[in-house]
Amino acid sequence: MVPTRSWWCLICVCVFWPIHAIIQEPQNIRLNSVMLNSVLLWDPSNFSEGNVTYTIQYESLKSDFIDLCRRIYFTECNISNTPKYSLANLRIRAEFENKQSHWIYFNFTPFKDTIIIPPIVQIIPRKPGILDVYLQSPPVILNDNRYSLKDFYGSMVYKIKIWMNASEQVITNVTTPHTLYVISGLDTGITYCLKAQVFIEELNKPGEWSKATCTQTINSTNIVGTDQVTVTVIFLTVLAFIFFCCCMIGCTYRWIKYCFFPSYSLPQHFIQFLNHPYHSSQFLESQSQGEDHNYDMLTVLSERSKQCNSKSENKMSNIKQELQGSQEDTIRPKEISSCTTLLHV
Ligand SMILES: *[C@@H]1O[C@H](CO)[C@@H](O)[C@H](O)[C@H]1NC(C)=O
Ligand SMILES: *[C@@H]1O[C@H](CO)[C@@H](O)[C@H](O)[C@H]1NC(C)=O
Ligand SMILES: *[C@@H]1O[C@H](CO)[C@@H](O)[C@H](O)[C@H]1NC(C)=O
Ligand SMILES: *[C@@H]1O[C@H](CO)[C@@H](O)[C@H](O)[C@H]1NC(C)=O
Ligand SMILES: *[C@@H]1O[C@H](CO)[C@@H](O)[C@H](O)[C@H]1NC(C)=O
Ligand SMILES: *[C@@H]1O[C@H](CO)[C@@H](O)[C@H](O)[C@H]1NC(C)=O
């Protein structure tokens, strides 16, 4: 009985082993990981009976395997959801109906193995012999969220290579943590080219070099032209500003004058009184017959033209003469020092 059972077992193995072995493992497995977006690729299995499916799993911390892609027909699988900083153990196999190939195992650490694309480089020739280099770190986009490389790597710097387009020999290698680097001491009016890469110092991991970007430094003659334009613009601006200030001051002055010193005219009867000094002296006479009156000093200021002044001075002298004439008689005004018109424009 025992030999018979062994034979049956042997027959079973002979029958089922080839079926199991018929499905070939996925071939030429490769990883395409760029900016922490990782995709696994492979060649299709050689199987004639039908379309083969594939399953990819990774080993979690609890040592059980979790599906990343399950029974897919394509020959690629997005494996970006594995932890970024730890070594991921992955495995892949091919399947057809209830038959499977052997598992194929491999390892992968996203933050070490991923490719860092070049930074965006912009060169601005600002002065003769000086180039401003602006660097922009490439973004990491995961699940539609945008992250900076600095969110994943601690010590990130940029490396820059500079050469003259004519000679193609590197003249400077630069390492900088900043996104703006000023290259000085270059010749004027010469075309320089540069390339930049991101460099992760902690891992000694270089990113990809950018394409060569070339720019001509400013000619020293050009700067004079630029300066003339600048000076003219500044000069015109200052002129415009001064003109504006003058206008403002003028307007303010008029406004203040209008508000606080409105144009002013003497009462009509007072003007008449001044225009007819004879009557006024009579008036004074009638008022001061036989009495001694004290007169306050009357001061009238004029801002009118000198013509006006001279007119009023004439009037004033007339009044004075009249007063002096009558003074000898009965009227003795104690003090009338001056008399002018108070007239504002
Ligand atoms: C696929 O199978 C054919 C024959 O069925 C064979 O000639 C070919 O070499 C196989 N290819 C691979 C990659 O194994
Ligand atoms: C295999 O897949 C192709 C397309 O990828 C499809 O046209 C074909 O019908 C499939 N064959 C089977 C047996 O499922
Ligand atoms: C892979 O998956 C990640 C996260 O699930 C997603 O952000 C990314 O766009 C996917 N990449 C591709 C090539 O589908
Ligand atoms: C750089 O030099 C090459 C020849 O060496 C020339 O074809 C190219 O136009 C130059 N580029 C610039 C921006 O001057
Ligand atoms: C710049 O670095 C390269 C290697 O990356 C080296 O061959 C070259 O001599 C260096 N040039 C200068 C000027 O330091
Ligand atoms: C700068 O000067 C050089 C000669 O010194 C001339 O060939 C070049 O065209 C000038 N470039 C500009 C932008 O004026």
Q: Could you tell me the pLDDT band of residue 227, with boundaries at 50, 70 and 90?
A: low
Q: Does 97 fall in a domain?
A: yes
Q: According to the model, what pLDDT value does residue 253 have?
A: 82
Nearest ligand by distance to the CA of 209:
5
Q: Does 95 fall in a domain?
A: yes
- How does pLDDT run across 301-341, given as a tens digit for each residue? 545 444 444 554 555 555 556 555 545 444 444 444 443 44
Lowest mean pLDDT among 69-73, 202-206, 334-338: 334-338
Q: Does 5 fall in a domain?
A: no
Which of 98, 113, 128 lies at the terminal end of a domain, its last residue? 113
Nearest ligand by distance to the CA of 69:
3
Q: Does 247 fall in a domain?
A: no
Q: Rounded distance, CA 122 to CA 126, Å?
A: 12
Q: According to the model, what pLDDT value does residue 156 have?
A: 93
Q: Does the C-beta of 176 come closer than 6 Å to ligand 6?
A: no
Amino acid making up residue 62: K
Same domain, 91 and 164: no
Domain range for 103 is: 27-113
Same domain, 124 and 216: yes
Which of 113, 135, 170 lies at the terminal end of a domain, its last residue? 113
Q: Does the C-beta of 78 come closer than 6 Å to ligand 1?
A: no
Q: Which residue has the higher pLDDT, 22 or 41?
A: 41
Residue to mutate, 170, 183, 195, 197, ligand 5, most ligand atoms under 8 Å from C-beta = 170
> In the predicted model, what is the mean pLDDT of the chain?
78
Same domain, 213 and 126: yes
Q: Rounded distance, CA 16 to CA 9, Å?
A: 11
Query: What is the position in ligand 2's atom list of the atom closest to the CA of 73?
Result: 5
Same domain, 105 and 125: no
Q: Which two tokens stand for residue 155?
A: 């010590």
Same domain, 126 and 92: no
User: Residue 210 is part of a domain; what is its CATH number?
Assistant: 2.60.40.10
Number of domains forming the structure of the chain:
2
Q: Does 190 fall in a domain?
A: yes
Which residues have any ligand 4 atom within 6 Å of their CB?
Answer: 165, 191, 214
- How does pLDDT run across 109-168, given as a tens digit for each residue? 999 999 999 999 999 998 898 999 999 999 999 999 999 999 999 899 999 999 999 888
Asked if the model's pLDDT at residue 63 lies above 70, the reply is yes
Same domain, 108 and 173: no
Q: Does 154 fall in a domain?
A: yes
Query: What is the position in ligand 6's atom list of the atom closest to the CA of 218?
Result: 13
Same domain, 42 and 106: yes
Same domain, 154 and 93: no
Same domain, 216 and 125: yes
Same domain, 55 and 75: yes
Q: According to the model, what pLDDT value does residue 334 have?
A: 42
Q: Could you tell me the pLDDT band of residue 287, with boundaries at 50, 70 and 90?
A: low
CA angle at 23 for the pair 22 and 29, rounded to the nearest 5°: 140
Mean pLDDT computed over 246-252: 84
Q: How far is ligand 6, taken at its centre, from the CA of residue 190, in Å?
A: 8
Which of 113, 146, 172 lies at the terminal end of a domain, its last residue? 113
Q: Does 9 fall in a domain?
A: no
Same domain, 93 and 142: no
Q: How far is ligand 5, taken at its centre, from the CA of residue 161, in Å?
A: 8
Same domain, 83 and 159: no
Q: Does 301 fall in a domain?
A: no
